[in-house]
Amino acid sequence: MPSEGASCPPLSVAAGAPGAVMLDGASIRALRRALLDWFRPDARILPFRATSDPYAILVSEAMAQQTQAARAGEAWTGFMAEFPTVEALAAASPADVLRAWQGLGYNRRSLDLRRAARRIVDEFGGCVPSDLASLESLPGVGTYTARAVAALAFGMPVGAVDTNVRRVLGRIVAGETGVLTPTELQRFADAAVPPDHPGDWTHAVMDVGATLCRPRRPDCEACPARPWCRHAAAAAAGTEGRRPAVTAVRARAAPFRTTSRWLRGRILDRLREASDGAWVVLDESIGEHDPVAVERAARSLAKDGLLELDGLAPGMVRARLPLA
């Protein structure tokens, strides 16, 4: 899905981060070949993997944070139809963007993405920047997202470390997650990226983490990284680390419908159903939340910029999605 916006300059590819490599060069090359050979016939089919447009990839990475990839893929298709270019997203109202984001949760991400689009248009000529420092300067873009966009859209040999990647690489080189420092893990992630296939590698490691190297009961037998993985070797020998038994009784998590997050989502859904600019009165209970809790949640949403309030008298709150 190529962008119809400004014509952007090509990337000058930079080298990955220097530093010690935790596997020798031959082992890293063999690990790369094994993961890529496994990935190409067995890759998860996700709609945003069919594009090389940096803007479309930025949108997909914003959506995929704390969201299942399949769910993000469905939402991405509709969002890109609504806002096919970075210019279209930059020109949209916050209300339009929030409506298009429905179902994804973590709604502040959508407004950060809109702010990033405006920055890209105003400061980068409508071209998603290709260097890490500029990417990380965009609203809502952190280290992982910047590196994912750099690798997938611009072919930069840098490692994008999310939860799945952290688990896969941590188990390979240290036997378990949480052993390496973030700096050590990032150094290995960068060193492991094949310079000629950074995009496929990024997806391959993520797919291993999502489908085989699961947090519980990893399928080491089917994993292409098994020959180089310390965790798999320890599991085969029966010496893998085991967490001590938990003797304290854990408190049961509150039902989701009783949480503030659930209530905030329902308030925004009500506002999404209203006509653009129309005020919605919030003076009744929603689910198990009484009017006082509803008002408190509405004020919190307003503070986060996710809605506008009018009529602040206690018990008589009117709200709408933000128009500007």
**Is 221 a known active-site residue?**
no
Q: What is the DSSP string of 111-164?
A: HHHHHHHHHHHHHHTT----SHHHHHTSTT--HHHHHHHHHHHH--------HH
- Residue 79: how many CA atoms within 13 Å on its side-chain side? 30
Whether the CB-CB separation of 265 and 101 falls below 8 Å is answered with no
Burial class from Cβ neighbours inside 10 Å (0-12, 13-18, 19+) for residue 56 reads buried
CA–CA separation, 12 and 21 (whole Å): 24
Catalytic residue among 4, 61, 284, 295: 61
- Residue 295: how many CA atoms within 13 Å on its side-chain side? 13
Which of 104, 105, 125 has the alpha carbon at shortest distance from 5?
A: 125
Altogether, the residues listed in the chain come to a count of 324
Catalytic residues: 61
